[in-house]
Amino acid sequence: MVRQHPKDRPFKNPYYNKNVNRRAKNLKTVLGQEREKDRLKREALRKSKAEKAAMGMMDVDADDEEEEPNCTISPIHQAQAGTNPGPFGSDSSIEAPPSVWPPRHYCDITGLEALYTDPATGLRYHDKSVYEIIQGLSPSMVKDYLSARGVNSIVK
């Protein structure tokens, strides 16, 4: 038995009303508002502490940690603000963890990405046209190319 759908069934819900007053915010805006809210809380706390100290109402035995607002700033935003550089450093520092990607090899002749290595000389090359050039090089030229790359190997 085949089910039949009514043809006048609407695609959308006819009773759906979109909330016009709600505005979509991107992540940058939301995080900026959270940071501003936390900053205002800290300022209000500092002002209240200063007022209490000025009036002589400061409790000597009170813990400052109890009065601190619950500020939850992500490590990424702490790194952006410069308060906590985190494991990856910040944009203004040059310190970074080692790369997880394998190092790229470049052609000793052309400087393009090297896909191959000549087993006889140890030179890296991009394609077969460069390989033909490498085969015509003298041992002293091969040694110069290798030393330019920082490899001091003995050419056979």
User: Could you read off the pLDDT of 97-142 as tens digits, one per residue?
Assistant: 788 888 999 999 999 999 999 999 999 999 999 999 999 999 999 9
**96-116 core/surface letters (b: 16 or more CB in 10 A; e: else):** eeeeeeeeeeebbbeeeebeb
User: What is each CA distance from 79 to 68, 76, 89, 94, 103, in whole angstroms?
Assistant: 21, 5, 7, 13, 27
User: Could you read off the pLDDT of 61-90 as tens digits, one per residue?
Assistant: 554 444 444 555 555 555 555 555 555 556
Put simply, whether the predicted model's pTM sits higher than 0.95 gets the answer no
Return the domain boundaries, the chain: 27-81, 98-156
Statement: residue 38 has pLDDT above 90: yes
Structure tokens at 2: 């085949």
